Amino acid sequence: MSNEKCPICGELNRGLFLKETDGWFICQKCGSSVSNYPNGLAPHKMPIYTMEQLAEKLRKERDGLAAVAG
Domain CATH number, residue 49? 2.20.28
SS3 5: strand
pLDDT for the residue numbered 36 = 72
pLDDT for the residue numbered 67 = 78
SS3 58: helix
Q: What is the residue-level pLDDT of the chain in tens, covering all 70 positions?
A: 899 998 889 999 999 998 888 888 999 999 988 887 655 455 566 778 899 999 999 999 998 877 777 6
Task: List phi, psi (to 5°) of 65.
Answer: -70, -40
Number of residues in the chain: 70
Range of the domain at 41: 2-69
Number of domains in the chain: 1
Q: Is the pTM of this model over 0.75?
A: no
